[in-house]
Amino acid sequence: MKYILLVILTFFTACSLKNYTHSESKIIIIKTPHLKFSDLAYVKSTEDSVRLELFVAGTNVQNIEINHLICLNEGCMIKSSFNKEYLNENYPDTILQNIVLGKSVYDTKNLKKISNGFEQKIQNSHVNIFYKVTHNEIYFKDKKNKILFKIKDIK
């Protein structure tokens, strides 16, 4: 019984025991069929994990932790399950973390360097994505699946 309790505690705290090396406040807009948010957020990150702390009117309303799992206030799930439930099941497992960190998606497919960053256009039978990363803004829009992420620096 003691070992079962230890395993359960380890599982549920796996997403919360991080010492983040980088923290920034951002304005974030998230629009998906099952997740909507537009306000201030803190983006905290390490080499291999990211934590979004979402606030509305100064109150923390949701935390999203991304490492080997994606954890919400309600619990943790594997990345493919998160994509299926909140984004699109055809997205690569790393897409959310890459968007939040401003890294390329889909293994740099159709990556075009621009003066202050890069952009990608990815279109197939499952997605119609325009993704642009500049020094002060991340913009991801999938027209086909009605998904938008916009992350801007606070000036």
pLDDT of 12 higher than 80: no
Distances (CA, A) of 12 to 16, 72, 75, 92, 130: 8, 11, 8, 24, 35
Nearest-5° Cα angle at 25, 75 to 17: 35
pLDDT at 1 over 60: no
Q: Which domain holds residue 34?
A: 2-153
Q: What is the pLDDT of residue 84?
A: 95
Question: What CATH number does the domain containing 82 carry?
Answer: 2.50.20.10
**Lowest-confidence pick of 7-21, 46-60, 104-118:** 7-21
Residues 6+ apart with CB under 8 A from 33: 145, 146, 147
Tens digit of each residue's pLDDT (9 = 90 or more) over 28-46: 999 999 889 999 999 999 8
- Give me the percent of the chain exceeding a pLDDT of 90: 76
**Residue carrying the six token digits 């905290």:** 44
pTM: 0.84
Task: Point out which residues pair with 138 in neighbouring strands.
Answer: 133, 151
Whole-angstrom Cα distance, residue 41 to residue 29?
10
Domain count, the chain: 1
Sign of the dihedral defined by the CA atoms of residues 79, 85, 136, 17, in that order: negative
- List pLDDT tens digits, range 73-120: 989 999 999 999 999 999 999 999 999 999 999 999 999 999 999 999
Phi, psi of 92 (to 5 degrees): -65, 150
